[in-house]
Every structure is written in structure tokens, then in C-alpha cells.
Amino acid sequence: MKLRRNVIIINELGLHARAAAKIAQLAEGARSKVYIVKDGQAVDATSILDVMALYCPHGTELVVKITDPGDVKVLNRIARLIETGFGEL
């Protein structure tokens, strides 16, 4: 079972506050930790400020990572959210 997914920010505004809030909301539904990783730096996906601090403009590649295989649905939902431009396209 995959515990990580590579995704690319496709919306023109990048990963901004509203998008970070959507990620955090999904991550809060996980049983264990969910991380967003950029260039080897991992942050807690439930923290809007930490996610925004990664600075992810259009075209940025990220890894969404979970620590519990039971959270694979959360992983897939977050990846799908990012892959679809946070519903803004």
C-alpha cells in the first residue's frame, strides 16, 4: 500500500491560504499524522500556517505522506484536491 503520493500544484495562484485550509480540513480527518513535503522539508498537513510556509507556487512538486495505512483515503483525497487545482479551475 502506498503511503505517499507525488503531486504538482496546477492552479495559477499556487498553494494559498484557502487551499491550505482545505488540505488541513482533510488532514484533520486522519487517525495519525499527515505531512506535506517539499524539497525534503515535511510539515504537518493540519497546520495551515506550516503548509503555507512551504511557499508552493504553480508548478511546485509536493509529496503527500501518511504514517498509517488506514489513512489511505485521506491521502487520496488530499492528492485529488491538489491535482484538481483545489476546485478553482
Active site residues: 16
Angle at 8 between CA 43 and CA 34, to 5 degrees: 30
Distance of CA 4 to the CA centre of its chain: 10
Give me the residue label for grid cell 500544484. Answer: 9
